[in-house]
Amino acid sequence: MFCPQCGASTPDNAVVCMQCGRNLQAAPPPPLQATPYQGAPLQAPGVILPPGATVPNYLVFAILTTVFCCLPAGIPAIVFAAQVNGKLQAGDLAGAQQASKNAKLWCLISLGLGLAVVVIWGLLVLAGVLTGISHQN
């Protein structure tokens, strides 16, 4: 199948276009007579994305927090980012959204730990400076 927005060729079961990120599930349905019985719909009932929406995988932020904040918490974020894309490729929209939430959660945990270290260090530096000043007097 081809993306209605950018025309890129995408796998038939793709949820989003691999090129431009357009949500292919919200594309206008093909004429009924062309697809009479194709089994269960890919999309779980009740899961409807607004047109053009995508499932973010937070990969960029996962790499950033892994490299700059906290390695142990960043690794799960990257693993969940991989899961998002893997599930999108498999057509599992609900699973991709769950993995997306987990990826975001681990990015935030990693960011929080990194910021905590920066804040603690800042307080230590401040304490050191104040001690230095009081010793000079």
| Chain residues that interact with another protein, rule: CB under 8 A | 5-6, 16-22, 52-54, 57, 59-60, 63-64, 66-68, 70-71, 75, 78-79, 81-83, 85-86, 89, 117-118, 120-122, 125
Is 8 or 39 the residue whose CB approaches another protein more closely?
Answer: 8
Residue closer to another protein (CB basis): 45 or 113: 113
Q: Which two tokens stand for residue 4?
A: 């209605």
CB of 57 to another protein, least distance (A): 8
Buried residues in 29-53 as b, exposed as e (16+ CB within 10 A): eeeeeeeeeeeeebbeeeeebeeee
